[in-house]
């Protein structure tokens, strides 16, 4: 009897903890899974096609990197109750504030265009014209916010996160050799030696792991959700699970393309999907659906990151818990960013490849600043109190930030001056 | 009745657009004033980090300008 009652007590405890987690879950999972956006999917697909399973170990290492950076935004948002843009203005003054806000809006808008490029390419595989794709996306994004409830938006976003897992069944369908994956992918190795091409791919994978919008998005989402200091452990767990999911999805994409397209030159996820249609039609279809979903998730989060940032600084009502008439400027910016980015993709002969390359360069002007501000804020006792970084956290996060800044800067240089890396 | 000036513009609509622009401009001034004094304590670590960031951004902008210049030349 005693054993039964103890078991029941433990069972109730687990259920209550799970219920509590489900209430808090959201920002961490969404930001991490949205990190696998259209650009990310393309990078992973190209990595698998180029190096097979050989770089899976590197993707595993990127999980903790993403977690350590994003976990800091949870603490900062929960303690200060300010988004990252407002926190920069308040802590570092108008010069750095305006620089971050304007750079963020430019980088985000350009990244939004790349999400639309991915989404239109994905649906064109099903003969859906780009104009219809743009209309569908705008419709979905309008539907998500029109209720005026953060909860509704978050649960719909989490549904799209679940759809991002289509790469897992796709990987099983191509029957990869588990032995080969473990043998080639788990032990760190540099296929073909440390070549310029390998370094380029490593830098590209890091570049897709941490983007400036993620820092701004998660901190604002934590504030909008109303998370406080007591919710920090759950927010960390949410971010950790998100980091695990994002790495798992990335690995399964590499497994798919590494099994079927190994040795081919893949320049986009849409191309990988079309090529796959010849031998594995269902897998090709799943890849296309996944690409559309990835672009949509990215677009949802990126446009919100900008709207929240402007709302915080300009003092507009800026919550998803408000209806459109209650927060008109917040939603006006949200729709302005989406619609104009969508329209750019519809312009005949628009320089979309140039825009895609330009994003990677411009992002490097913002990422170091956002990361350095994050570390400085997290070390300020007046702002963070007992939640400031510990010595161990500082050693790890500063090493990660220096690594990200160095590699993303090198990546931008390789895009600007490819002849240097030839 | 709205007064019309010789160019045919209505004074009240011009006044409205002036006040709209003035309102937007004053918003920027208000934000600058609100955040004029940085909250963070300027320790040596903070100063070095901000100086490093400034140098990094200046170098990056110079590289971008150089790339733009070489692109135009070709």
CATH 1.20.1740, applies to A38-421: yes
Distance CA A152, CA A306 (A): 20
A269 vs A285: CA distance, rounded Å = 12
Q: Mean pLDDT over all residues of chain A?
A: 88
Q: Where are the alpha helices (DSSP H) in A192-280?
A: 196-209, 212-225, 232-260, 269-279
Residue A131 reports pLDDT greater than 90? yes
* Residue spans of alpha helices (H) in A147-186: 150-163, 167-173, 178-181
Angle at A71 between CA A252 and CA A99, to 5 degrees: 105
Q: CA of A398, closest CA in chain B: separation in Å?
A: 12
CB contact under 8 A, A89 and B67: no
Helix (H, G, I), strand (E, B) or coil at B4: strand
Instruction: State residue B15's pLDDT score.
Output: 58
More confident residue, A188 or A147: A188
Q: Rounded CA gap, B33 and A287, in Å?
A: 51
Q: Between vectors from CA A136 to CA A132 and to CA A137, what angle results, nearest 5°? A: 120
pLDDT at A59: 92
Residue whose tokens read 């209309």: A135
pLDDT band at A267 (very low <50, low <70, confident <90, very high): confident
The full set of domain ranges for chain B reads 1-37, 39-74
Segment A369-373 mean pLDDT: 89
A21-25, A39-43, A113-117, A345-349 — which is least confidently predicted?
A21-25
HSE-CB at A40 with a 13 A cutoff on CA atoms is 31
On whether the CB atoms of residues A248 and A44 are closer than 8 A, the answer is: no
Q: What is the spatial distance between Cα A288 and Cα A362, in angstroms, rounded to a whole number? A: 28
Model confidence band, residue A98 (pLDDT cutoffs 50, 70, 90) = very high
Which among B36, B37, B40 has the least Cβ separation from residue A380?
B40
pLDDT band at B1 (very low <50, low <70, confident <90, very high): very low
Evaluate if pTM is beyond 0.95: no
Evaluate if residue A247 carries a pLDDT over 90: yes
Decide if A353 contacts A367 (C-beta within 8 A): no
B38 touches A: beta carbon within 8 Å: yes
- What is the C-alpha to C-alpha distance for residues A406 and B18, in angstroms, rounded to an integer? 47
Q: Looking at residue A325, what DSSP letter applies?
A: T
Chain B residues with beta carbon closer than 8 angstroms to that of A313 = 31
Number of A–B residue contacts, CB under 8 Å: 58
Three-state DSSP state, A52: coil
DSSP string, B22-43: HHHHHHHHHHHHHTSS--S---
Res. A100: pLDDT tops 60: yes
A384, with CB counted inside 10 A (0-12, 13-18, 19+), is: middle
Which of A76, A88, A93, A371 would you mutate first to test chain B, the one with the most B CBs within 10 A?
A93
Residue A348 has pLDDT above 50, yes or no: yes
Taking the C-alpha atoms of residue A377 and residue A384, their distance in angstroms, rounded to an integer, is 8
Quickly count: other Cβ atoms within 10 Å of residue A184's Cβ: 19
Query: Alpha-carbon distance A302 to A315, whole Å?
Result: 20
Reported as a pLDDT band with limits 50, 70 and 90, residue A144 is confident
- What number is the average pLDDT over the span B24-49? 87
Supply the pLDDT for residue B8: 47
The closest CB to that of A376, out of B49, B61, B64, belongs to B49
* B57 interfacial to chain A (CB closer than 8 Å): yes
Stretch among A67-81, A285-299, A348-362, B25-39 having the lowest mean pLDDT: A348-362
High-pLDDT (> 70) share of chain A, %? 99
User: What are the pLDDT digits (tens) for A39-56?
Assistant: 888 889 989 999 999 999
pLDDT tens-digit readout, A282-308: 999 999 999 999 999 999 899 899 999
Quick one: pLDDT at residue A316? 85
CB–CB contact B37 A369 (8 Å): no
Which of A161-170, A238-247, A312-321, A383-392 is predicted least confidently? A312-321
pLDDT in tens, A175-230: 998 898 998 888 888 887 777 788 878 888 887 888 889 999 999 989 988 888 98
What are the angstrom distances between the C-alpha of A240 and each of A25, A33, A379, B19?
11, 11, 22, 50
* Sequence-ordered list of residues with C-beta below 8 angstroms from that of A109, at least 6 positions apart, any chain: A306, A337, A340, A341
ipTM of the complex: 0.77
Nearest 5°: the CA angle A276, A209, A123 is 35
């Amino acid at each position: 009897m005693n054993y039964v009652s103890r078991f029941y007590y433990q069972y109730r405890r687990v259920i209550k903890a799970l219920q509590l987690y489900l209430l808090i879950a959201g920002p961490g999972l969404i930001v991490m899974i949205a990190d696998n956006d259209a650009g990310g999917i393309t990078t992973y697909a190209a990595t698998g096609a180029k190096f097979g399973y050989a770089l899976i170990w590197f993707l595993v290492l990127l999980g903790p990197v993403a977690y350590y950076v994003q976990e800091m935004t949870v603490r900062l948002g929960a303690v200060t109750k300010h988004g990252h843009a407002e926190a920069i203005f308040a802590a570092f003054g108008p010069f750095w504030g305006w620089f971050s806000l304007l750079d963020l809006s430019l980088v985000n808008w350009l990244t939004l265009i790349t999400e639309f490029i991915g989404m239109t390419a994905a649906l064109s595989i099903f003969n859906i014209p780009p104009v219809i794709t743009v209309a569908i996306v705008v419709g979905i994004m309008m539907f998500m916010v029109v209720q005026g409830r953060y909860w509704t938006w978050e649960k719909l976003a989490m549904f799209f996160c679940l759809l991002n897992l289509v790469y897992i069944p796709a990987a099983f369908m191509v029957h990869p050799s588990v032995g080969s994956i473990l043998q080639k992918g788990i032990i760190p190795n540099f296929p073909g030696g440390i070549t310029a091409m390998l370094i380029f791919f490593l830098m590209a994978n890091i570049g897709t792991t941490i983007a400036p919008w993620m820092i701004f998005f998660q901190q604002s989402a934590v504030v909008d959700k109303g998370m406080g200091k007591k919710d920090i452990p759950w927010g960390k767990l949410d971010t950790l699970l998100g980091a695990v999911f994002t790495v798992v999805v990335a690995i399964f994409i590499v497994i798919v393309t590494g099994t079927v397209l190994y040795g081919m030159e893949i320049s986009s996820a849409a191309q990988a999907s079309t090529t796959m249609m010849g031998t594995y039609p269902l897998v090709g279809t799943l890849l296309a659906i996944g690409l559309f979903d990835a672009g949509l998730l990215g677009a949802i989060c990126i446009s919100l990151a900008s709207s929240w940032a402007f709302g915080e600084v300009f003092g507009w009502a800026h919550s998803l818990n408000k209806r459109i008439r209650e927060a008109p400027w917040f939603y006006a910016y949200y729709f302005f960013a989406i619609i104009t980015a969508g329209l750019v993709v519809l312009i005949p002969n628009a320089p979309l490849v140039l825009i895609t390359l330009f994003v990677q360069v411009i992002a490097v002007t913002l990422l170091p600043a956002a990361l350095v501000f994050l570390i400085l804020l997290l070390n300020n006792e007046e702002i963070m109190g007992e939640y400031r970084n510990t010595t161990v956290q500082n050693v790890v996060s500063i090493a990660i930030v220096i690594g990200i800044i160095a590699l993303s800067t090198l990546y931008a240089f390789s895009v600007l001056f490819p002849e240097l890396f030839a | 009745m709205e007064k019309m000036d010789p160019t045919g513009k209505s004074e009240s609509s011009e006044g409205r657009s002036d006040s709209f622009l003035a309102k937007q401009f004053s918003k920027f001034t208000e934000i600058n004033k609100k955040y004029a004094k940085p909250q963070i304590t300027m320790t040596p670590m903070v100063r070095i980090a901000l100086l490093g960031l400034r140098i990094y951004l200046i170098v990056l902008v110079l590289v971008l300008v150089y790339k733009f210049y070489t692109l135009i030349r070709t």
